[in-house]
Amino acid sequence: MIQLGPGVHYTQSTMDPTIGNLGKESKQHSEVYVNISERGLHRCQVNALKAMAPELECKHELPRIPT
C-alpha cells in the first residue's frame, strides 16, 4: 500500500470508527471511559484468540434479540 502524507491521517481514519463502535457498545453511561476500555480489552482478547485458533471464528451471524 502506498501512503502519501503524514501518517496521522491513516491512523486517525481507522481509530475514529473504532472509538465510535466501542462507544455504541457501552451500555452504562455513568463510567463511560471505564466501559469503553473494558470493551476494547475484550475485543483485543477475542481477536487474539481468533488469530491463534481460526476455527473459533463464527462463520454465520447469530440471531439478534430485539431491544
* Ranges of each domain in the chain: 22-54
Report the pLDDT value the prediction gives residue 45, as an integer from 0 to 100: 93
Burial class (CB in 10 A: 0-12, 13-18, 19+), 35: middle
User: Quick check: 36 and 26 in contact, CB under 8 A?
Assistant: yes
- Calpha distance 54→24 (Å, rounded): 27
Report the pLDDT value the prediction gives residue 38, as an integer from 0 to 100: 84
Rounded alpha-carbon distances, angstroms, from residue 16 to 32, 43, 63: 16, 16, 28
| For range 16-24, the mean pLDDT | 73
Work out the mean pLDDT of the chain and round it to a whole number.
76
Whether residue 9 has pLDDT greater than 70: no
Share of the chain above pLDDT 90, in %: 7
Share of the chain above pLDDT 70, in %: 67
The whole-model pTM stands at: 0.51
Q: How far apart are the first and last CA of the chain?
A: 41
